[in-house]
Amino acid sequence: MPHPSEHSDAGRPLGADEAQALAEALRAFGSASRLRLLWALSDGERTVEELAGAVAMEQSAVSHQLRLLRQQRLVAVRRDGRHAHYRLFDHHLPELLAALRHHHEHVQLAPVLSDDGTRTPPDRSPAAARAGSAAAPRRT
C-alpha cells in the first residue's frame, strides 16, 4: 500500500499540461502486445526469452516493446551478466492493469442504453465479441 505522502490528492483538478503528460503515458497501454508483456510481468521478473515464450512473440519484437515500456517507466530492468531481467516499474501497475481489465469486463457486461431510453443486453454474438465496443447495439 502506498504511503499517503507518496502522492498528491488524485481528486484535484487536472491541468492541461498534466492531462497531456497522462495522455502520452497512456499511449503505452494502446498496444495489445505491450499489454500482454505487462501482464506477463505481473507474476514477477522475467528475461526477454521467458517473456517471448509467455506471449508467443519473437524476441526482437519483445525487446522493441520492452524498450518502449522502459521509456515510459512502466518496466525496469536488472542486468545479470548477459541477461536482462525485466519487472514492472512500481507497485501501481498491477492495480492499474486489474482496473483496466475490470472496467473492460464491466463495459462488456453492462446493458446498452438505446436512443429511446430502453436498456438492451449487450450483444453476445461471436462477431460482437471480436468487434469489441465497435459493435452496434441490437434494437428490439
Provide the domain limits for residue 127.
Answer: 94-134
Would 3 be classed as within a structural domain? no
Residues 100 and 81 in one domain: no
Residues 6+ positions from 66 with CB-CB distance below 8 Å:
37, 48, 51, 75, 77, 86
Asked if the model's pLDDT at residue 49 lies above 90, the reply is yes
pLDDT digit string, tens, across residues 67-122: 999 999 999 999 999 999 999 999 999 999 989 889 888 888 777 767 777 777 76
Domain count across the chain: 2
CATH value at residue 24: 1.10.10.10
- Whether pTM exceeds 0.75: no
Weakest mean pLDDT among 54-58, 62-66, 132-136: 132-136
- In contact, 100 and 115? CB cutoff 8 Å: no
What pLDDT is recorded for position 135?
A: 44
Residues 108 and 79 in one domain: no
Task: Give which of 3, 86, 92 is closest to 50, Cα–Cα.
Answer: 86
Residues 6+ positions from 65 with CB-CB distance below 8 Å:
31, 33, 34, 37, 57
Residues 40 and 82 in one domain: yes
